Amino acid sequence: MTKAKKKELAERIEKIMKKLNEIYTIPVFEDRDPYKVLVRTILSQRTKDTNTDKATSQLFAKYKDIHEVAEAPIEDIEKLIKSAGFFRVKANRIKEVSHIILDHYGGIVPNNMKELIELPGVGRKTANCVLVFAFQEPAIPVDTHVHRIPNRWGIVNTTSPEKTEEELMKFVPKHLWIELNDLIVQFGQTICKPVHPQCYECSITDQCDYYRDNIA
């Protein structure tokens, strides 16, 4: 990527993020406990936020911390997180990760990408979520919205979330990394939907290649 292209894309994303900040509010997380953020992100895989919220709330209402979860009967964890889907796989993953963190990290969730992705079932998206939402470390979690929407805008041209993250990191100013996921996810849930995006209600069509090529 040339310096000129990087500058152009950086200016575009700055304008987009400024507009999204005017529309949406960054949620204030009352509980940034890294372990709970990690578990919530594991539960969030392949399900809706409402299901994740219910499963997370039920699990930690009964088992307060990593020690209690690690010792909890697997069948009980499965019952508590059932709303999140794939509950048997996720319950086993949560138990396994909990024991590893207790045995190898003294019960403290690692705060760096290298060690996080060594945990079973923790990929870059999950690790980035922990870095951003628990530790407030600059990172770019790429979920389905953050992969789809920058491709629609035309600021990336990628075929996988991993590649999208790699490309975004090249030009998105670092001070925008922490808020980028939250803002784009809200935008994707309300306006730039996977099917039938609400282009006529969108306030950033001037920065969108999809609108220019298909609607305008």
- Domain ranges for the chain, please list them: 3-26+141-214, 34-134
* pLDDT score at 160: 96
**What whole-number distance in Å separates Cα of residue 188 and Cα of residue 146?**
8
Check residue 185 and give left, alpha or beta (phi > 0: left; psi -120 to 50: alpha): alpha
* pLDDT score at 122: 94
Q: What is the mean pLDDT of the chain?
A: 95
- Residue 93 contacts by C-beta under 8 Å, 6 or more apart in sequence? 42, 120, 121
DSSP structural state of residue 85: S
pLDDT bin (cut points 50, 70, 90) of residue 168 is: very high
* pLDDT score at 216: 76
With 0-12 / 13-18 / 19 or more C-beta atoms within 10 angstroms meaning exposed / middle / buried, residue 8 is: middle
Q: What whole-number percentage of the chain has pLDDT above 70?
A: 99
Statement: residue 30 has pLDDT above 80:
no
The third-level CATH classification (topology) of the domain covering 3-26+141-214 is Endonuclease Iii, domain 2 (1.10.1670)
Q: pLDDT tens digits, residue range 82-94? A: 999 999 999 999 9
The third-level CATH classification (topology) of the domain covering 34-134 is Endonuclease III; domain 1 (1.10.340)
Q: pLDDT tens digits, residue range 105-145? A: 999 999 999 999 999 989 999 999 999 999 999 999 999 99
Phi, psi (rounded to 5 degrees) for 75: -65, -35
Q: pLDDT tens digits, residue range 64-80? A: 999 999 999 999 999 99
* pLDDT score at 125: 94
Taking each helix axis from N to C end, the angle separating 3-23 and 161-171, rounded to the nearest 10 degrees, works out to 100
Dihedral angle sign, alpha carbons of residues 51, 141, 153, 10: positive
Q: Is 192 annotated as a binding residue?
A: yes
Q: Cα–Cα distances in Å, from 109 out to 39, 65, 105, 113, 153?
A: 11, 12, 7, 11, 35
Statement: residue 29 has pLDDT above 70:
no
Q: Is 129 annotated as a binding residue?
A: no
Q: Is 199 annotated as a binding residue?
A: yes
* pLDDT score at 49: 87
Say if 3-26+141-214 and 34-134 have the same CATH topology. Answer: no
* pLDDT score at 9: 97
Statement: residue 11 has pLDDT above 70:
yes
Average pLDDT over residues 151-159: 97
pLDDT bin (cut points 50, 70, 90) of residue 21 is: very high
* pLDDT score at 1: 84
